[in-house]
Structure 1
Amino acid sequence: MSTPGSTPPSITDLLTAARARLDRPDPARAAELAERGAILVDTRPGWQRDEEGSLPGALIIERNHLEWRLDPTSDARIPEATDHDVTWVLFCSEGYSSSLAAASLQDLGLRNATDVDGGFRAWKAAGLPTA
């Protein structure tokens, strides 16, 4: 947050700050986390999933709904949002907007929220399951 007279942060500054507090798994480790109970969440819009493919078994919650669906105190939460200790692993296409989204979830107290380094494209390039 900027103060009067100061230069506001750039999107690069915000992204760098968000990623500095995230433990961003690579696709292989994200798959391991999912095997141990982490919930994969695809935040990409429908057109992008149509173009690039999808993640089998991932929840689809587009970015503009994310905080309301995953906050365990929200009236709009999904059933999987049981408490602040759930491990959420977010995907976007390349791992940019998902980093900002994961930081936002951490701001809500979801301490185990993170995103995949490289996003869906890195997951697909690693040969992990897609549809």
Structure 2
Amino acid sequence: MNVEAFLADARAEIDRVAPRAAYELLQAGALLVDIRPHANRLAEGEVPGSLVIERLVLEWRLDPQGAHRVPQVQPDTRVVVMCNEGYASSLAARDLKRIGLRHATDLVGGFRGWVGAGLPSRPGGSPAIT
């Protein structure tokens, strides 16, 4: 299996959301989780209200049954994962669904799609939850 097939398999397990739909979900209480590395966030910016959790510790911080999860996460929490362009986030969202976050999905186009849609952003570099 090549990476394109691997990505297609992951996306078959999630209901991806476009930037404007993600913005509406965020306004309704969903968590927008930014998994981009610090260097990308510093260079390009961040979404106000997003939760910054780099990919390395994502499952540990978002496992709804885990001892190391962030307090905002419950099994029914709607989580939208965001990366740079919407590739790594698809894989991450699929993994989150598999560990019990039934409403995990990802952002089509990632942060760059968000900004391209004219949605709010701010200068980046916030520390990630470790």
> Which residue does 2:99 correspond to in 1?
108
Q: Is residue 32 of structure 1 aligned with residue 27 of structure 2? A: no
> Which residue does 2:125 correspond to in 1?
none
Unaligned stretches of 5+ residues in structure 1: 1-8
Greater gyration radius: 1
Aligned partner (choices 56, 59, 63) of residue 55 of structure 2: 63
Aligned partner (choices 103, 109, 116) of residue 118 of structure 1: 109
Unaligned stretches of 5+ residues in structure 2: 123-130
Q: Is residue 41 of structure 1 aligned with residue 33 of structure 2? A: yes
Q: Calculate the aligned-residue CA RMSD, in Å.
A: 0.8
Shift, 1:96, TM fit: 0.4
Shift, 1:13, TM fit: 1.2
Residue 80 of structure 2 aligns to a residue in which SS? strand
Shift, 1:84, TM fit: 1.1
- Higher RCO (CA 8 Å, separation ≥ 6 residues): 2
Shift, 1:37, TM fit: 1.1
Q: Would the aligned equivalents of 2:64 and 2:100 in 1 still touch at CA under 8 Å?
A: no
TM-score (norm 2): 0.91
TM-score (norm 1): 0.90
Q: Distance in 1 between matches of 2:108 and 2:70?
A: 25
Structure 1: which 4+ aligned runs deviate by more than 3 Å?
none
Q: Is residue 18 of structure 1 aligned with residue 18 of structure 2? A: no
Q: Distance in 2 between matches of 1:109 and 1:78?
A: 14
Number of residue equivalences? 122
Q: Distance in 1 between matches of 2:90 and 2:2?
A: 15
Q: Distance in 2 between matches of 1:123 and 1:117?
A: 8
Q: Would the aligned equivalents of 2:76 and 2:102 in 1 still touch at CA under 8 Å?
A: yes
